[in-house]
Amino acid sequence: MKLRWRLAWLTTYPIARILLDLRVSGREKLPSGPLILASNHVSNVDPVIVGWAAARELHFFAKEELFTGPKLFTWLIRFWNAWPASRSRVDPTAIKRFAHLLRRRQTVVLFPEGTRSKTGELAGFKPGIGMLAIGSHAPVVPTLIAGMDRSWLSYLVDKDLVRRGSRKRPARPATVRVVFGDPVEPHEYERSKDGYVEMTRVVEQEVRKLKRNAECRMPNIKREEPSEERHGR
């Protein structure tokens, strides 16, 4: 971990524990070496939340429009390992960049839904994560962020969702929880389109399981339908 990451984590993580009531489960399941964290996506600050929870240096995609704004902001997100990617199409340049980072034994965060969830429900995962994992021989750890859509931080940061009525001012502080699942190993899947799709499907199912388990502990979380019903199986 680079020194700036270690110092930033040491100084801000205790604050997040207090202000967000941040709770982390399964950190011991994160293997060393190249790693992909596949997380649901509910807020613009999700990469920060996952970074606090993982306690390691991360790289993540950000929509390419963010890199055409004020120079100070662009420099800041690049400084913290954000990389531009298109949301409207498969971006081969972005995939190659992350494959290169994984070869250097880095940890990358992907949000396979492709965009933030307005309601907290999970959308279908895009198969690019399976392609990246199998092609890079990197395990994928299913990751769940729970309670973020009801937190004061999301209310302050996700102003576009507030304007649309998707985020309400919290009546009381909400606990934010990050849960890491068991790694999904890429060597169990073929390096083919079917293999990419199947691995993505398994990762998505594991995230949905984490969400259902979290619902039992945090009843205010939006209820998730069983994946078999959602996918028509």
Cβ atoms 81, 10 nearer than 8 A: no
Whether residue 1 contacts residue 56, with contact meaning beta carbons closer than 8 Å, is answered with yes
Q: pTM here?
A: 0.87
d(CA 31, CA 141): 9
211 is a domain residue: yes
Q: Which residue has the tokens 């800041």?
A: 76
Distance (Å, whole) CA 190 – CA 187: 8
Would you say residue 3 lies in a domain?
no
Indicate the number of domains in the chain: 1
8 domain residue, yes or no: no
What percentage of the chain carries pLDDT values higher than 90? 65
- Is 162 inside a domain boundary? yes
pLDDT for the residue numbered 87: 66
Domain hosting 179: range is 19-230
The C-alpha atoms of residue 174 and residue 145 are separated, in whole angstroms, by: 13
Residue 9 lies in a domain: no
Q: What is the CATH number of the domain that holds 178?
A: 3.40.1130
- pLDDT at residue number 227: 45
Helices (H) and strands (E) counted in the chain, each on its own, are 9, 7
Indicate whether 7 belongs to any domain: no
Which residue's entry shows tokens 């606990």? Answer: 175
Q: Quick check: is 4 in a domain?
A: no
Q: Is 176 part of any domain?
A: yes
pLDDT in tens, 209-226: 999 998 777 655 554 544
